[in-house]
A = this chain, B = another copy of it.
């Protein structure tokens, strides 16, 4: 069951970059893999970990397939579990995004990806998505890379 091992050793480096988004719709699903790859390249780091996280609490970063039907399935699933129009205690504060805080918890805040030989260490279909649940305003994703 075990295959491919590798060791390396050196000085630690870190790299940080923000991605900014303003989606046109309240909910949106954006494939940000190219931007993360670009950040990895700029970092010059070859072995380590890449953290990619939403910096806002009504958005997610997750890894799955870039297939439009699947994205519709996710959206329908999340809207069924936490409908936008349902009553939320959070909305009594004047907000209207109680559903978005729940949708984000289901899909998660962050992904951590291995960095090997200067590349995202991915299986065949892994793609990094930014999932927006309360868009139409400027929001950020953080990329932090540590390694050597």
A interface with B by C-beta (< 8 Å): 1-21, 35, 38-39, 42-44, 47-49, 51, 53-57, 62-65, 67-70, 72-74, 76-77, 81-82, 88-93, 98, 101-102, 104-114, 116, 121-126, 140, 142, 144, 146-148
Docked Cα-Cα span, A122 to B55, in Å, equals 6
- Indicate whether A18 sits within 8 Å of B6 (C-beta atoms), given known contacts A69-B88, A123-B55: no
- A13, B20: Cβ atoms closer than 8 Å: no
Docked Cα-Cα span, A85 to B34, in Å, equals 34
Other CB < 8 Å A-B pairs besides A2-B38, A77-B102, 5 of them? Answer: A3-B18, A16-B121, A49-B51, A69-B88, A81-B81
Docked Cα-Cα span, A81 to B13, in Å, equals 42
- A73, B102: Cβ atoms closer than 8 Å: yes
Nearest B residue (CB) for A3: B18
- A70, B89: Cβ atoms closer than 8 Å: yes
